[in-house]
Amino acid sequence: MKTLRLIGPGELCLVDEAQPVPGPGEELVRVKAVGICGSDLHWYSESGIGDVRLSKPVLLGHEGAGVIESGPRAGLRVAIDPAMPCEKCEQCRAGHAHFCTALHFAGDGHTDGLIRELVAWPTDSLVPVPDTLTDADAAMLEPLGVGLHAIRLGEIRPGERVGVFGCGPIGIFLIQLARAAGATTIVATDVLPHRLAAARAAGATATALVAGGSERAELLAATDGHGVDVAFEAAGVDDSVDTAVSLAAPGGTVVIVGISSADRTTFTASPARRKGLTIKISRRMNRVYPEAIRLVEAGLVDVRSVVTASYPLTDFKPAFAAAAAREGLKVIVRPSA
């Protein structure tokens, strides 16, 4: 079967490897669609993410969907949950599987990811999806789940004002979810005009290009000077965190969703302190696939809107080039025809 291995910074290699053999509690899945995530781009360009570095050639990709290839459930279409918790540690038993002390996660530098034709994956991490969802739609349930987990941390109440700072795919999902949660004003920033257009289409009521902080006054005015009750940082850069802190209203909440390339996040302390802000950091997601599917089926979230390009596995070079250049929103790779 064909697999795509990351060898070093910017160096991907398409190789033939043996078909995996499912072990106990696993099923063989033919992978149909994988989204290229921002964290994949950290690995691709920097050979690492945070304090974890590439120690061996690894398969990237954790936003996946496919079809079970064999066994009693052959032909069943599934979303592939990239997280494989142990289900035994204290965190798992407490219902916090995303904090599992022995977690394996697809494409994290230690565990091979999903950009390959076939994968043997735990049955417990294969989520059946309705036929109303395309393969690409099903792959987008993972980033939608990340957004849903962050929205829950934000505890948005109907009628509140919300800010989303960084309008990549997860930022777009945050806007859609904030609207579904009852937010009446949603302000957003990004460095790319086409992503701000997507933010407005998703429900943002005011948007502004990042301009060294000068855009903050414009967005504050869009909230009638109140600021936002909940601010989501989704760009992974300190300027965006500072914007979230600056625009958060007194007593408000800032949820940090983005991942910094430098493995360090800083913000101006005085406004955060004087406003008594609550700062939360969102870690992936925690068992939200069923709710994500229901949101899509109910028409409250449009996962299809974020997919702007799709490439066969053999075209991995232009696929990763497009994703790294932040063209469009989400780039999909199709490992199997």
User: Tell me: the pLDDT tens digits for 107-145?
Assistant: 998 899 999 999 999 999 999 999 999 999 999 999 999
Confidence band (pLDDT; 50, 70, 90) for 51?
confident
Size (the chain), residues? 337
pTM: 0.96
What percentage of the chain reaches a pLDDT higher than 90? 93
Residue 72 has pLDDT above 90, yes or no: yes
Inform me whether the pLDDT recorded for 261 exceeds 80: yes
> How confident is the model over 250-270, as a mean pLDDT?
94
pLDDT of residue 89: 95
Q: Which residue intervals of the chain bear CATH 3.40.50.720?
A: 147-281
Per-residue confidence band for 49, with pLDDT thresholds at 50, 70 and 90: confident
Domain with CATH 3.90.180.10 in the chain: 2-139+302-334
Mean pLDDT of the chain: 96
- Give CATH for domain 147-281: 3.40.50.720
Please name the CATH architecture into which domain 2-139+302-334 falls. Answer: Alpha-Beta Complex (3.90)
Query: How does pLDDT run across 172-219, given as a tens digit for each residue?
Result: 999 999 999 999 999 999 999 999 999 999 999 999 999 999 999 999
Give the dihedral of Cα atoms 152, 156, 162, 163; nearest 10 deg: -20
Q: What is the DSSP letter of 116?
A: B
Residue pair 202/172 in contact (Cβ under 8 Å)? The answer is yes
Name the residue among 186, 114, 127 with its Cα closest to residue 332: 114
Predicted pLDDT of residue 337: 75
| Sequence-separated (6 or more) residues with CB below 8 Å from residue 2 | 14, 15, 16, 17, 116, 117, 313, 335
